[in-house]
């Protein structure tokens, strides 16, 4: 079956511009996670969705970062006024549900963001 | 807070050599522990996991044992192959709350023929 998909796979943007990154989770997965993989910081958690709500936003690095999820499915991560330190690979993962701990997180291929 | 520390790479080995990648963790409570692998050009994949002390996770010839007394989850393989070349991430997940993964920095493994 289809896995987690992310688009675009690569994005180059100029400093100060806004970007939107998209994640399509596995069908039926209610839990969705965003992570960021950067050279200096490794792999960091950004935000967690259960359904359309985000009970854990603790990893968002600044108020320039926001995310939403609609229809319990697609999620969009938006970065406003991008900075060079936002350059990273943004990973999305989904799991059947997020509270019991029984279910594996499946990762997408990531979006590589480069801010010039 | 919770954290994972793993050995820095790259680890360079010849084919059929023995592999150990060290991983230690700091956590409150009793987390689940994972090894993820990222092959070149691909996404993260779960390699193996252990959910309680003394559990051994195993997959594709890789093994790791959850050692509560040393807070460790070292990854081992008896005989590596060129196709094992990848980046390996150790991670933990709290068994309460919202189940986010906390990752180590990753260890690149390079296996030469």
Q: Are strands A65-69 and A75-79 parallel, antiparallel or unpaired?
A: antiparallel
Mean pLDDT computed over A9-14: 97
What are the chain A neighbours of B105 within 8 Å (beta carbons)? 42-43
CA distance A97 to A59: 19
pLDDT at position A98: 64
Enumerate residue ranges in chain B where pLDDT < 50: none
CB-based contact B85:B91 (threshold 8 Å):
no
Percentage of residues in chain A having pLDDT higher than 90: 79
Residue A1 pLDDT greater than 60, yes or no: no
Percentage of residues in chain A having pLDDT higher than 70: 94
More confident residue, A90 or A1: A90
Q: Find the CB nearest B100 among A4, A56, A110.
A: A56
Residue A106: name the closest of A30, A9, A38 by CA. Answer: A30
CB-based contact A108:A91 (threshold 8 Å):
yes
pLDDT at position A104: 83
CA distance B33 to B102: 10
Residue A88 pLDDT greater than 80, yes or no: yes
What are the chain A neighbours of B6 within 8 Å (beta carbons)? none
Q: CB distance A104–B46 less than 8 Å? A: yes
CA distance B62 to B76: 6
- What confidence tier does A103 reach under pLDDT thresholds 50, 70, 90? confident
pLDDT at position B11: 96
Residue B93: name the closest of A57, A100, A59 by CA. Answer: A100
More confident residue, A40 or A81: A81
pLDDT at position A99: 64
């Amino acid at each position: 079956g289809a896995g987690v998909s992310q688009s675009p796979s690569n994005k180059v943007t100029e400093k100060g511009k806004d970007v939107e990154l998209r994640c399509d989770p596995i069908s039926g997965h209610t839990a969705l996670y965003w992570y960021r993989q950067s050279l200096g910081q490794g792999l960091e958690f950004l935000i967690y969705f259960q359904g359309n709500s985000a009970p854990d936003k603790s990893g968002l690095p600044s108020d320039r970062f926001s995310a939403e999820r609609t229809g319990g499915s697609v999620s969009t991560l938006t970065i406003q006024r991008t900075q060079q330190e936002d350059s990273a690979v943004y990973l999305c993962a989904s799991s059947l549900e997020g509270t019991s701990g029984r279910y594996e997180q499946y990762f997408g291929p990531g979006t590589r963001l480069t801010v010039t | 807070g919770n954290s994972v520390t793993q050995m820095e790479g790259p680890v360079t080995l010849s084919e059929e050599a023995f592999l150990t990648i060290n991983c230690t963790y700091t956590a409150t409570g009793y987390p689940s522990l994972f090894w993820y692998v990222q092959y070149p050009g691909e996404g993260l994949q779960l390699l193996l996991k252990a959910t309680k002390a003394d559990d051994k996770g195993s997959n594709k010839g890789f093994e790791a044992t959850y050692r509560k007394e040393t807070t460790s989850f070292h990854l081992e393989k008896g005989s590596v192959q060129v196709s094992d070349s990848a980046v390996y991430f150790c991670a933990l997940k709290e068994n309460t709350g919202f189940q986010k993964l906390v990752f180590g920095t990753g260890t690149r493994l390079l296996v030469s023929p």
